[in-house]
Protein backbone atom coordinates (compact mmCIF):
# COMPACT_ATOMS: atom_id res chain seq x y z
CA UNK A 1 0.00 0.00 0.00
CA UNK A 2 1.37 3.38 -1.00
CA UNK A 3 0.48 5.11 2.27
CA UNK A 4 2.44 2.50 4.20
CA UNK A 5 5.48 3.29 2.06
CA UNK A 6 5.17 7.10 1.98
CA UNK A 7 3.31 7.99 5.16
CA UNK A 8 0.90 10.91 5.15
CA UNK A 9 1.14 12.65 1.79
CA UNK A 10 0.00 15.78 0.04
CA UNK A 11 -2.02 15.03 -3.09
CA UNK A 12 -2.79 17.08 -6.19
CA UNK A 13 -5.76 15.79 -8.17
CA UNK A 14 -7.10 17.57 -11.24
CA UNK A 15 -10.13 16.54 -13.28
CA UNK A 16 -10.40 12.94 -12.16
CA UNK A 17 -13.87 12.67 -10.57
CA UNK A 18 -15.75 13.43 -13.79
CA UNK A 19 -13.78 10.68 -15.53
CA UNK A 20 -14.94 8.08 -12.99
CA UNK A 21 -18.19 6.21 -13.12
CA UNK A 22 -20.54 7.62 -10.45
CA UNK A 23 -20.35 4.38 -8.43
CA UNK A 24 -16.53 4.64 -8.32
CA UNK A 25 -16.27 8.20 -6.99
CA UNK A 26 -16.58 7.23 -3.33
CA UNK A 27 -13.72 4.73 -3.67
CA UNK A 28 -11.57 7.41 -5.30
CA UNK A 29 -12.24 9.85 -2.44
CA UNK A 30 -11.48 7.09 0.09
CA UNK A 31 -8.15 6.46 -1.66
CA UNK A 32 -7.30 10.15 -1.39
CA UNK A 33 -8.26 10.04 2.30
CA UNK A 34 -5.94 7.08 2.82
CA UNK A 35 -3.05 8.88 1.12
CA UNK A 36 -3.44 12.11 3.10
CA UNK A 37 -3.73 10.19 6.36
CA UNK A 38 -3.89 12.39 9.45
CA UNK A 39 -1.61 15.28 8.47
CA UNK A 40 -1.58 15.49 4.66
CA UNK A 41 -3.74 17.64 2.46
CA UNK A 42 -5.23 17.23 -0.99
CA UNK A 43 -5.73 20.00 -3.50
CA UNK A 44 -8.56 18.87 -5.73
CA UNK A 45 -9.61 20.71 -8.90
CA UNK A 46 -12.66 19.57 -10.82
CA UNK A 47 -14.63 21.00 -13.71
CA UNK A 48 -17.71 22.84 -12.50
CA UNK A 49 -21.13 21.92 -13.85
CA UNK A 50 -21.02 25.08 -15.97
CA UNK A 51 -17.90 23.71 -17.70
CA UNK A 52 -19.96 20.89 -19.16
CA UNK A 53 -22.35 23.39 -20.71
CA UNK A 54 -19.46 25.51 -22.03
CA UNK A 55 -17.72 22.51 -23.60
CA UNK A 56 -21.00 21.25 -25.06
CA UNK A 57 -21.41 24.65 -26.70
CA UNK A 58 -17.92 24.41 -28.17
CA UNK A 59 -18.61 20.87 -29.41
CA UNK A 60 -21.72 22.08 -31.22
CA UNK A 61 -20.09 25.12 -32.81
CA UNK A 62 -20.14 25.30 -36.63
CA UNK A 63 -16.44 24.39 -36.75
CA UNK A 64 -17.04 21.37 -34.50
CA UNK A 65 -15.35 20.51 -31.22
CA UNK A 66 -11.78 21.65 -30.57
CA UNK A 67 -9.29 18.92 -31.53
CA UNK A 68 -8.34 18.17 -27.92
CA UNK A 69 -11.99 17.70 -26.93
CA UNK A 70 -12.64 15.04 -29.59
CA UNK A 71 -10.85 12.14 -27.81
CA UNK A 72 -12.61 13.01 -24.57
CA UNK A 73 -16.00 12.81 -26.25
CA UNK A 74 -15.07 9.63 -28.15
CA UNK A 75 -14.23 7.90 -24.86
CA UNK A 76 -17.64 8.79 -23.47
CA UNK A 77 -16.26 11.13 -20.80
CA UNK A 78 -18.78 13.82 -19.95
CA UNK A 79 -16.92 16.93 -18.81
CA UNK A 80 -18.61 18.70 -15.92
CA UNK A 81 -20.77 15.68 -15.10
CA UNK A 82 -20.06 15.90 -11.37
CA UNK A 83 -22.62 18.11 -9.66
CA UNK A 84 -20.99 21.06 -7.89
CA UNK A 85 -22.37 19.91 -4.52
CA UNK A 86 -21.23 16.31 -5.07
CA UNK A 87 -17.52 17.08 -4.98
CA UNK A 88 -17.28 18.30 -1.36
CA UNK A 89 -19.86 15.72 -0.26
CA UNK A 90 -17.75 12.94 -1.77
CA UNK A 91 -14.69 13.92 0.28
CA UNK A 92 -16.69 14.55 3.46
CA UNK A 93 -18.12 11.03 3.13
CA UNK A 94 -14.54 9.75 2.99
CA UNK A 95 -13.82 11.40 6.35
CA UNK A 96 -12.10 14.54 5.07
CA UNK A 97 -12.97 18.09 5.95
CA UNK A 98 -13.15 20.96 3.48
CA UNK A 99 -10.38 23.29 4.66
CA UNK A 100 -10.70 25.82 1.82
CA UNK A 101 -12.61 26.09 -1.44
CA UNK A 102 -13.18 28.35 -4.37
CA UNK A 103 -13.90 28.70 -8.05
CA UNK A 104 -11.59 29.78 -10.85
CA UNK A 105 -11.39 29.50 -14.62
CA UNK A 106 -9.31 26.48 -15.59
CA UNK A 107 -7.07 27.06 -18.59
CA UNK A 108 -6.99 24.02 -20.84
CA UNK A 109 -4.46 23.08 -23.50
CA UNK A 110 -7.09 23.46 -26.22
CA UNK A 111 -8.04 26.41 -28.38
CA UNK A 112 -11.43 27.58 -29.57
CA UNK A 113 -12.38 28.36 -33.18
CA UNK A 114 -11.17 31.95 -32.73
CA UNK A 115 -7.72 30.79 -31.60
CA UNK A 116 -8.10 31.75 -27.95
CA UNK A 117 -7.23 29.27 -25.21
CA UNK A 118 -10.27 27.44 -23.90
CA UNK A 119 -10.97 28.26 -20.26
CA UNK A 120 -13.73 26.51 -18.34
CA UNK A 121 -15.20 27.06 -14.88
CA UNK A 122 -13.70 24.92 -12.15
CA UNK A 123 -14.11 24.33 -8.45
CA UNK A 124 -11.17 23.68 -6.16
CA UNK A 125 -10.97 22.26 -2.66
CA UNK A 126 -8.28 21.77 -0.07
CA UNK A 127 -9.26 18.72 1.96
CA UNK A 128 -7.74 17.00 4.96
CA UNK A 129 -8.42 15.84 8.47
CA UNK A 130 -9.76 18.63 10.65
CA UNK A 131 -7.70 17.58 13.67
Residue 131: give its domain's CATH number.
3.40.50.150
Q: State pTM to two decimals.
A: 0.82
The answer to whether residue 75 is domain-embedded is: no
- Bridge partners of 11, per DSSP, are 42
pLDDT in tens, the chain (131 residues): 788 888 899 999 998 888 888 899 999 999 999 999 999 999 999 989 888 787 777 777 777 776 767 677 676 666 667 888 999 999 999 999 999 999 999 888 878 778 888 888 999 999 999 75
The pLDDT score that the predictor gives to residue 50 is 87
With CA atoms as reference, report the closest residue to 119 among 66, 41, 51.
51
The answer to whether residue 66 is domain-embedded is: no
User: Residues of 36-74 as b/e, b for ≥16 C-beta within 10 angstroms?
Assistant: beeebbbbbbbbbbebbebbeebeeeeeebbeebeebee
86-93 vs 25-36: helix axis angle to the nearest 10? Answer: 60
The pLDDT score that the predictor gives to residue 65 is 72
The pLDDT score that the predictor gives to residue 61 is 74
Give the chain's domain count: 1
The answer to whether residue 25 is domain-embedded is: yes
Range of the domain at 11: 1-43+84-131
Amino acid sequence: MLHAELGDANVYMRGVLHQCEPQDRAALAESVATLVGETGRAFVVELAEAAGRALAGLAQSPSGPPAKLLPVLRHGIVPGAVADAEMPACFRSAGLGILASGALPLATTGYGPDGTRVEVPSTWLVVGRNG
